[in-house]
Amino acid sequence: MNKAIKWVSIVVGGLIVLVILVIVITPMFVDIQKYKPVIESKVAEATGRPFTLGGDLDLSLFPWVGVSLSDIHLGNPEGFEEKDLLSVKSFEVRVKLLPLLSKNIQVKRFVVDSPIITLEKRKDGKANWEGIGKTSGKAPDKSPKEAEKPKETEPQGGLPIEALAINEFAITDGLITYTDHTNGTSRKISDLTLRLQEVSLENPIKLALSAKLDDKPISLEGKVGPVGKDPGKGTIPLDLVLKALADLDISVKGKIVDATSRQQFDMAIQVSPFSPRKLFTALGQEFPVTTTDPKALNRVALKVNLAGGPKNITVSNGVLDLDESKLNFSLKAKDFSRPDVAFDLKLDKIDLDRYMPPPGEEKSAAGEKKAESTKQTTKKVDYKPLRKMILDGAVRVGQLKAKDVKIQDLNLKVTGKNGLFNLNPLALKLYEGQMAIKGSFDVRKDVPKSKVILDASGIQAGAFLQDFMKKDILDGVLKSKVEISMTGDEPERIKRTLNGKGDLRFNDGAIIGIDLAGMVRNVTAKFGLAEKEAKKPRTDFAELHTPFTITNGLVKTSKTSLTSPLLRVLASGKANLVNEALDFRVEPKFVGTLKGQGDTGSRSGVTVPVLVTGSFSSPKFAPDLEGMLKKGLEGGLPDTADLLKGKGSTEGATKDLKKQAEGLMKSLPFGK
């Protein structure tokens, strides 16, 4: 028995030695160079591109299975400037043979030296990488029996190996160029080097990548893994740092869970402070945004956690620094086929005027946008995606400046479901007062409907109008309530369907630019029959009240009134938003006493009606001079008889009264 075992061992050992000798000796006597044409033909057939091996093939079988290739070229199709799509100076791989029998892969070297990839797009839009792998021949038809055979399913699981170890993995001195002849642009990544260290299934893999992007340095370093014996399953940690252009520094730390099945991820991302303007300068590119403040967009930093998978994403602990502003944010989204989105934004302060285009460019952009909007008026908006959305969001802003208007403590709450979105509420403080806005946007049908309710109180109108309109025309404390509704998403339809009501009330204020009380005291001077005062005129009032209604774009007011010690003004009429036509009658009454607004004594005076017609862009004012002359004012205009006899002049009075009326009308809400 022992002799049998001994002889079996000798035979097996001899066979193993014989196999090893064959493996070692075979490359010495076999001319593998004759297989180059076969390899070139097979690769060309598989890629659809010409393929050549300029250098010799080097093959070893023991103890390392090794292949060395050099001067490799994968060509371009005809019609491109460069001859090659890909070229490699040399390629070498060496794998230990015997461990392969136990599914243990040990790689001594995997080195690619000087790969050059040339990407090119012609003027006709055709790219040299398109069509790789496509065959011109038609695939042979399957026989009926083959067609009936059930498809074999691929075995599930990870790699069919027990262990992996790579001693050296490197891609050195690579070059990637991209040329787009359609717009004359080109990019280059040079000095590309990638090295992997401590490559195995059980330990983290060290990664180091460096290159130059258009001669500007970039690098990526860190660790990935361990990937485990079953790659694609389990947890794969990541810890990477990207540095670019000596200004951009991004770190990513987290994990990927079950990459082939659940595809979950959890990452912490940090972007160190950098200047977007300097980044574009380093890239040799013009900054794409023109801002009023040339120092805007000069500092950006970001910290955020991202977690989720194919069906959900969570953004948490987000902090964005933009110049002097800081935004804290979070977001959750799930079921992307029917998006369910919740978000929370908190901004400490921002001056939006800094980021707007300069005044000249802003007007030009607005004109282009209006022209583009006019071209697309016939295009119907598809609101189906909004009907699927579920929305729950909140926005808070400490200080906000836009169009020179200063706002504090802005709070916004928006919800939406099944095509109905509610703004409830938008609350803010401005100019010593406060405002609350509630609204809804309904897209449950093809034509959207909107409603807005606005409440405001305690707002200093003078300071607000000065900042917003750059006009000193009206002062006072504003209290208002406005309710409007509209249908459609095109301006013309919105104007035709605008309905609602409102009430504007200004207390303890003044109309700047006209002194009606002075007209009472010295009518002759105010009507151009004496020298005018250099001081800017104003008409103080205790209350300016404008109630109005809107019916299908027609704004009506019947009881607009202005009350002051020497003046009462009543106005009524309408403004058509559709055809922009005006039709108002303004009737001021100058009283002959200064007892005040609370007195009960009899008042005297003359009512001078003013008719306002024309359009929004060209209003026409027509004072009723004949009525004024009939009634007369105490110590005022020349006697009617004298005027009729030619002793006075009505021409100056008419012109100045018209000018005063225009100033008054343009200052009132119903005159805008």
- pLDDT tens for 351-388 read 999 999 987 765 555 555 555 555 555 578 888 989 99
Which has the higher per-residue pLDDT, 630 or 317? 317
pTM for this one? 0.73
Q: What is the C-alpha separation between 272 and 299, in angstroms, rounded? A: 10
Residue 609, classed as helix, strand or coil, is coil
Domain boundary among 205, 231, 257: 231
Residue given tokens 């069919």 in the structure block? 160
pLDDT of residue 487: 94
pLDDT digits (tens, 9 = 90+) for 216-232: 889 999 999 888 777 77
Q: What is the C-alpha separation between 610 and 631, in angstroms, rounded? A: 15
Q: Residues 400, 406, 411, CA angle at the centre, nearest 5°?
A: 45
Q: Is residue 428 situated within a structural domain? A: no
- Give Cα 604 to chain centroid, integer Å: 63
Q: What is the C-alpha separation between 145 and 339, in angstroms, rounded? A: 46
Q: What is the C-alpha separation between 672 and 660, in angstroms, rounded? A: 16
Cβ atoms of 582 and 616 within 8 Å: the answer is yes
**Residue range 518-527: mean pLDDT, rounded:** 46
pLDDT digits (tens, 9 = 90+) for 465-488: 888 888 888 889 999 999 999 999
pLDDT of residue 269: 96
pLDDT at 268 over 50: yes
Nearest alpha carbon to residue 610 among 563, 562, 658, 568 = 658
Q: Is residue 265 situated within a structural domain? A: no
Q: Is residue 397 situated within a structural domain? A: no
Strands 433-442 and 205-213: unpaired
Rounded CA Rg of the chain: 41
With helix as H, strand as E and coil as C, how does 623-636 read?
ECHHHHHHHCCCCC
The C-alpha torsion from 402 through 405 and 411 to 417, rounded to 10°, is -60
pLDDT at 435 over 80: yes
Q: Is residue 318 situated within a structural domain? A: no
Q: What is the C-alpha separation between 52 and 69, in angstroms, rounded? A: 11
pLDDT at 429 over 90: yes
pLDDT digits (tens, 9 = 90+) for 385-402: 899 999 999 999 999 999
Q: Is residue 410 situated within a structural domain? A: no
Cβ-in-10-Å burial (0-12, 13-18, 19+) of 582 comes to: buried
pLDDT digits (tens, 9 = 90+) for 653-671: 445 555 555 554 454 444 4
Q: Is residue 530 situated within a structural domain? A: yes
Q: Residues 208, 209, 214, CA angle at the centre, nearest 5°?
A: 155
Q: Is residue 327 situated within a structural domain? A: no
The amino acid occupying position 513 is: G
Residue 487, classed as helix, strand or coil, is strand
| pLDDT interval class at 48 (50, 70, 90) | confident
pLDDT of residue 22: 41
Q: What is the mean pLDDT of the chain?
A: 78
Residue range(s) defining the domain that contains residue 590:
499-672
Lowest mean pLDDT among 81-90, 517-526, 531-540: 517-526
Q: What is the C-alpha separation between 240 and 252, in angstroms, rounded? A: 5
When mean pLDDT is compared over 36-40, 87-91, 329-333, the highest value belongs to 329-333
pLDDT digits (tens, 9 = 90+) for 112-140: 899 999 999 988 889 988 887 665 444 44
**Residue range 166-187: mean pLDDT, rounded:** 88
Instruction: Name 635's Cβ contacts closer than 8 Å, sequence gap at least 6.
Output: 523
- E runs forming strands in 461-533: 474-487, 499-512
Tell me the two tokens of residue 418: 């099944």
Residue 109, classed as helix, strand or coil, is strand
- CA diameter of the chain: 157
In the chain, % of residues over pLDDT 70: 71
Nearest alpha carbon to residue 609 among 584, 634, 642 = 584
pLDDT digits (tens, 9 = 90+) for 404-417: 999 999 999 999 99
Domain count, the chain: 2
Domain boundary among 179, 214, 231: 231
| pLDDT interval class at 215 (50, 70, 90) | confident
Domain boundary among 204, 231, 258: 231
pLDDT of residue 283: 78
pLDDT of residue 361: 62
Q: Is residue 405 situated within a structural domain? A: no
pLDDT of residue 184: 85
